[in-house]
Amino acid sequence: MAEQTLASKRIFVTGATGFLGSYLVPRLVAEGAQVMALARSEKKAAMLAEQGVETTLGDLLDLDSLRRGMRDCDIVIHAAAALDGSYDEMYPATVIGTQNVMNAAADMGVRRVVHISSVAVYGLIGRDTFSEDAPLASAEYPYITTKTLAEKHVQRIGTERRVEWSIVRPGMIYGPRAGLWTKGMFQLASLRPTPFIGDGSGSASPIYVDDVVEMLVRVATNEQAAGEIFNCMMDPTPTWREFIGAYQRLAGNTRWLSIPVLPMYIVAGISMLLAPRKSILRDLPDGLGWLVRKKRFPMDKSRQLLGWEPQVSLAEGVARCEGWLRKTGRLK
């Protein structure tokens, strides 16, 4: 593994005040990097400045602000993206924003862009083993389609304009302050009984936020990571029953309600027929199948090229969320 140090490197981060960015930025600073960040407001810029981060006001659609922020930078870590909304709402930030990041990096002579994607690009149907060279699946769900398009632009622009790129595909990132995969899962686990479609034996794909940050640091500093894509999750993956059950233990709850799958398929099929194009409802039957299926996301490449594998077990990761859940009043 040909690795470099981040000390004295100038690194530009998008999404620095988001969930993942709020863990990534302090780690980069601790490694001795000079961190630059894109901030959409004076308030967010002030928050970053308190951490010793230089900021540029702007957004992903403002190419000039991206160029200013990347001036003299060695590495860009692109963590910003739209997480929900309609296709038309998500497309500008996720797709056009990624194009702008890549073009700005080329304009400013940045050595490498590390793009944070998602295992969602594999889609909801097809195979049960998803290695990094698996073909990307089509879907109607806007998050999947926009993330897939963004990846394609990273590779195309990187090749055409000679910018090194690496892509990281995390699973369900959880940890203190996480939305859906901590707050949402704990709320579900607190219901007595906890309802779930099927018996929960299908594969979930959680990964603790600190493990994701560790991979990003290694990808940014490893020469062999150029032009490579990396899955980022636990291998083997835990089941939904195990993932939600870890939150149930925090909530003092052991009751589980298995909802029969077949009636839900009927409801999903009707919803699909009535849903407009580019709606998550069009993928509902496939989503149910994805929920109950056993899947694997091999970590072989990450182990071999990066020497990376998750260090935080599911039990430890969920236990680390306890203090935040208490502080926010969710765990009594």
Helical axes 142-161 vs 97-107, angle rounded to 10°:
20
Distance between CA 98 and CA 79 in Å, rounded? Answer: 10
Choice among 9, 43, 44, 147 that is catalytic: 147
- Give φ, ψ of 193 to 5 degrees: -80, 165
Confidence at residue 55, expressed as pLDDT on a 0 to 100 scale: 95
Interacting residues of 305 by C-beta distance below 8 A, sequence separation 6+? 1, 222, 224, 225, 228, 230
List pLDDT tens digits, range 144-189. Answer: 999 999 999 999 999 999 999 999 999 999 999 999 999 999 999 9
List pLDDT tens digits, range 211-270. Answer: 999 999 999 999 999 999 999 999 999 999 999 999 999 999 999 999 999 988 888 888
Residue 113, domain extent: 10-178+205-235+295-312
Q: With respect to residue 261, please indicate whether it lies within any of the assigned structural domains.
A: no
Confidence at residue 271, expressed as pLDDT on a 0 to 100 scale: 84
The encoded tokens of residue 291 equal 């929920």
pLDDT at 86 over 60: yes
pLDDT at 207 over 60: yes
Q: With respect to residue 276, please indicate whether it lies within any of the assigned structural domains.
A: no
pLDDT at 309 over 60: yes
Q: With respect to residue 329, please indicate whether it lies within any of the assigned structural domains.
A: no
Q: With respect to residue 86, please indicate whether it lies within any of the assigned structural domains.
A: yes
Q: With respect to residue 61, please indicate whether it lies within any of the assigned structural domains.
A: yes
Percent of the chain having pLDDT more than 90?
Answer: 82
Confidence at residue 124, expressed as pLDDT on a 0 to 100 scale: 85
Confidence at residue 287, expressed as pLDDT on a 0 to 100 scale: 85
- Give φ, ψ of 101 to 5 degrees: -60, -45
pTM for the predicted model, two decimal places? 0.94
Quick check: 297 and 130 in contact, CB under 8 A?
A: yes
Residue-wise burial string across 177-215, b where 16 or more C-beta atoms lie within 10 A, e elsewhere: bbeebbbebbebbbeeebebbbebebbbbbbbbebbbbb
List pLDDT tens digits, range 261-289. Answer: 998 888 888 888 887 877 777 878 888 88
* 295 belongs to the catalytic site: no
Distance between CA 33 and CA 25 in Å, rounded? Answer: 10
Domain total in the chain: 1
Distance between CA 55 and CA 306 in Å, rounded? Answer: 30
List pLDDT tens digits, range 116-149. Answer: 999 999 988 767 899 999 888 778 889 999 999 9
- The CATH number of whichever domain residue 54 belongs to comes to 3.40.50.720
CA angle 6, 12, 16 (to 5 degrees): 105
Q: With respect to residue 96, please indicate whether it lies within any of the assigned structural domains.
A: yes
Quick check: 98 and 106 in contact, CB under 8 A?
A: no
Report how far apart, in Å, the C-alpha atoms of 260 and of each of 124, 245, 265 are: 20, 19, 9
